[in-house]
Amino acid sequence: MEISAKNKEKISEQILAHLYSINPRAVFTVQIARELARDEEFIKQLLINLKKKGLVVEIGKNSKGILYLKRKRWQLSDEAYNIYQMNQTNYN
């Protein structure tokens, strides 16, 4: 089943909103997928697209500097956070 580009965009917005709500904490792909009740691979594809746009940052190492082999953590980029923060301030 194919998901339309419009729906992918809406889900990407949900990902960004979730990352904004937990900022500055970074979370694993599986945690984002559970929060949005979506498939992990689908969420991973959307996160990679958001990374290419500079909206999220991929963290490939743990706190001790050891590379993750099979998983990644994600965090909202500083630029995206500032844009969200401005929009929230303007909205209120």
What's the pLDDT tens digit per position in 61-82?
Answer: 888 989 988 889 999 998 888 8
List Cβ<8 Å contacts ≥24 apart for 83-91: 84/16, 84/20
Position 92 scores a pLDDT of: 59
Position 90 scores a pLDDT of: 67
What is the rounded average pLDDT of the residues 53-68? Answer: 90
Domain boundaries, the chain: 10-91
Position 80 scores a pLDDT of: 84
Q: Which CATH number fits domain 10-91: 1.10.10.10, 3.30.230.10, 3.20.20.70, 2.40.30.10?
A: 1.10.10.10
Percent of residues in the chain assigned helix, strand, coil, to nearest 5: 60, 15, 30
Q: How confident is the model at residue 13 (pLDDT cuts 50, 70, 90)?
A: very high
Position 33 scores a pLDDT of: 95
pTM: 0.85
